[in-house]
């Protein structure tokens, strides 16, 4: 595998992982007002492919945030416990916006790496053609 293919593979795997992360962040934001919803957390894994000799990034396990949501007194709500309290979502909208911004910037960085590698490879091919 040539160096351009390795760089392209790594940057694309990172961009794919960040796109998946953005999907999880979107799910968290969509359910921020859903009572009892637990925020999803994403991990990443560095994978080494022995066949190609290239590293890649993949989204790892998705887990639930163990932080409890707030309790609201609403005895008429269908999700109220025996004491009349409803557990709200543990999603903090500002944290999710920060995660979305970080994910977008990481995606953009991977895209820029790909563009730079493509431009360098193109310049090398131009030099070799002369």
Measured CA distances, 10 to 48, 99, 111 (Å): 10, 21, 11
pLDDT tens, N- to C-terminus, the chain (130 residues): 677 888 888 889 999 999 999 999 999 999 999 998 999 999 999 988 787 777 888 999 999 999 999 999 988 988 888 999 999 999 999 999 999 999 999 999 999 999 999 999 889 888 989 8
Neighbours of 39 (CB within 10 A): 23
* Number of domains present in the structure of the chain: 1
Which range of residues forms the domain containing residue 114?
A: 3-129
Q: What whole-number distance in Å separates Cα of residue 45 and Cα of residue 31?
A: 26
Residue given tokens 């269908």 in the structure block: 78
DSSP 55: E
Give the separation between CA 35 and CA 72, rounded to whole angstroms: 10
Please state, rounded to an integer, the average pLDDT across all residues of the chain.
Answer: 91
């Amino acid at each position: 595998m040539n160096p351009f293919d390795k760089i392209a593979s790594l940057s694309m795997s990172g961009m794919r992982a960040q796109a998946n992360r953005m999907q999880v962040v979107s799910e968290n934001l969509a359910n921020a007002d859903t009572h009892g919803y637990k925020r999803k957390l994403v991990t990443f894994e560095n994978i080494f492919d022995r066949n190609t000799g290239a590293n890649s990034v993949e989204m790892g396990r998705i887990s639930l945030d163990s932080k409890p949501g707030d309790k609201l007194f609403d005895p008429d709500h269908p999700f109220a416990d025996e004491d009349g309290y409803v557990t709200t979502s543990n999603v903090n909208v500002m944290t999710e916006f920060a995660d979305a911004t970080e994910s977008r910037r990481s995606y953009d960085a991977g895209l820029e790496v790909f563009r730079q590698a493509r431009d360098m490879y193109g310049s090398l091919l131009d030099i070799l053609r002369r």
